[in-house]
């Protein structure tokens, strides 16, 4: 995403860019962006560098996405208030649900999607998690 921000800055030096993420602000310090620390997804819970806590990952994702509609309404209001013209996301479903609600075009940049990742775990097969992510 940082390389994309750099390319956008080069192509359109005056364009305003807002980054909404729970990633470290430090990653974006040289990018001259408006930074907002928010949770956009839950990712995976890692026990260590090689092991994932599958059950906890699915549990957190299910709880987060159960409130996706409310979260998308809040983010949609931000998009409208800020005059956003494009949403680019490294695949948090929240970004795309909010963009759709705000009527703002959106672009996903990634080599995987969360529905694809979570679908590989038995814990995800019970409940609406996968369908909610796909709908977003």
What is the tens place of the pLDDT at every residue in 93-119? 999 999 999 999 999 999 899 999 998
Domain ranges in the chain are: 1-38, 45-135
User: Which range has the worst mean pLDDT, 31-35, 90-94, 125-129?
Assistant: 125-129
Confidence at 124, pLDDT banded by 50, 70, 90: confident
pTM above threshold 0.85: yes
Q: What is the DSSP string of the chain?
A: -HHHHHHHHHH-TT---EEEESS-GGGGGGG--EEEE--------BSSSS-B-HHHHHHHHHHHHHTHHHHHHHHHHHHHHHT---EEESS-HHHHHHHHHHT--EEE--S--HHHHHTTSGGGGSSSHHHHHHH-
């Amino acid at each position: 995403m940082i390389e994309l921000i750099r390319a956008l800055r080069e192509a359109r030096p005056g364009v305003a860019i807002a980054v909404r993420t729970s990633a470290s602000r430090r990653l974006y310090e040289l990018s001259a962006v408006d930074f907002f620390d928010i949770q956009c997804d839950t990712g995976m819970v890692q026990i260590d560098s090689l092991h994932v806590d599958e059950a906890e990952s699915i549990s957190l994702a299910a709880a987060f996405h159960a409130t996706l509609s409310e979260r998308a309404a809040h983010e949609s209001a931000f998009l409208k208030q800020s005059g956003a013209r494009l949403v680019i996301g490294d695949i948090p479903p929240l970004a795309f649900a909010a963009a759709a609600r705000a009527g703002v075009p959106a672009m996903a940049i990634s080599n995987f999607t969360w529905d694809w990742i979570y679908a590989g775990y038995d814990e995800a097969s019970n409940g609406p998690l996968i369908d909610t992510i796909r709908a977003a």
